[in-house]
């Protein structure tokens, strides 16, 4: 599997849930990349985790889509002690703005060049 | 309103719908940026359009989230003649892979640094 294919999460048939996190970074770095990677790795080990897609552009605007089997699994991850601590740090220094949306995926379809 | 705030769509109270489009670009340019902007402008003029957020990184991986009032409005946009023509061109030259998910937003919350 090449990196292009890996950029798109291999999710199961719907229904499942997506947490869409759109954020604007501050200019503060101070451990952000290491923490972001730590949180991705930790999320991937949680029950109900189905996959993640994450992109940030040169202007510091990012979108992360994480996929989960249920709202209960999303709630458990939100309340995970290491995750809440990272979110506190994020609000204190790394994020100027963010917006989170929790949505139920009802339909999906894809394309891969032949 | 500064550009950081504009990066996050001002959506209404849930429920509403999101179309999450994750894509990997080919190295082919040939009018891609102009067409992408044209499609954003055209989408924004459709009935039921609520907003859009779009990010692409240096490796060519992009996520676009467009927000809509209903599945019927999403269907109408998907079948819009100029949009389907652009999608055909996208599959022919601009996208190596993409995956689209249609989801119902049930809950949202945000943060802005003070």
Tell me what pLDDT residue A4 has: 45
Answer whether A17's CB lies under 8 Å from A108's CB. no
Q: Residue A31, by phi and psi: left (phi above 0), alpha (psi -120 to 50) or beta?
A: left
How confident is the model over B59-72, as pLDDT tens digits?
999 999 999 999 99
Q: How many CB atoms lie within 10 A of CB B17?
A: 22
SS (H, E, C) A68-87: ECCHHHHHHHHCCHHHHHHH
How confident is the model over B4-51, as pLDDT tens digits?
447 999 999 999 999 999 999 999 988 999 999 999 999 999 999 999
Tell me what pLDDT residue A89 has: 94
Return all residues near A103 (Cβ < 8 A) that are at least 6 apart. Answer: A17, A18, A20, B17, B18, B103, B104, B105, B106
Token representation of residue B19: 């179309």
Do residue B105 and residue A109 have CB atoms under 8 angstroms apart?
no
Chain A window 10-49: which residues touch B at a Cβ cutoff of 8 Å?
Answer: 11, 14, 17-18, 20, 22, 24, 26
Q: How far apart are CA B75 and CA B92, in angstroms?
A: 22
Tell me what pLDDT residue B114 has: 78
Could you tell me which residue, A89 or B3, shows the higher pLDDT? A89
Instruction: Give the containing element (helix H, strand E) for A3.
Output: helix A3-6
* Substitution target from B6, B7, B19 for chain A, most A beta carbons within 10 A: B7
Do residue A63 and residue B53 have CB atoms under 8 angstroms apart?
yes
Å from B5 to nearest chain A CA?
7
Tell me what pLDDT residue B2 has: 41
**pLDDT band at residue B96 using 50, 70 and 90 as cut-offs:** very high
Tell me what pLDDT residue A1 has: 36
Do residue A96 and residue B109 have CB atoms under 8 angstroms apart?
no
Instruction: Give the containing element (helix H, strand E) for A114.
Output: none
Q: How far apart are CA A53 and CA A35, in angstroms?
A: 16
Q: What is the pTM of this model?
A: 0.94
Tell me what pLDDT residue A114 has: 78
SS (H, E, C) A6-75: HCCCCCCCCCEEEEEEEEEECCCCCCHHHHHHHHHHHHHCCCCEEEEEEEECCCCEEEEEEEECCHHHHH
Tell me what pLDDT residue B6 has: 76
Chain A hits for B11, Cβ within 8 Å: 101
**pLDDT band at residue B1 using 50, 70 and 90 as cut-offs:** very low
Which residues of chain A have a pLDDT value below 50?
1-5
Tell me what pLDDT residue A58 has: 92
């Amino acid at each position: 599997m090449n990196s292009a294919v890996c950029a798109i999460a291999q999710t199961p048939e719907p229904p499942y849930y997506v947490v869409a996190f759109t954020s604007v970074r501050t200019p503060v770095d101070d451990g952000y990349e290491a923490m972001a990677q730590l949180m991705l790795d930790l999320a991937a080990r949680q029950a109900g985790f189905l996959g993640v897609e994450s992109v940030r552009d040169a202007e510091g605007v990012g979108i992360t889509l994480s996929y989960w089997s249920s709202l209960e699994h999303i709630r458990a991850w939100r309340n995970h002690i290491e995750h809440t601590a990272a979110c506190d740090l994020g609000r204190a220094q790394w994020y100027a703005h963010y917006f989170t949306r929790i949505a139920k995926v009802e339909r999906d379809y894809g394309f891969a060049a032949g």
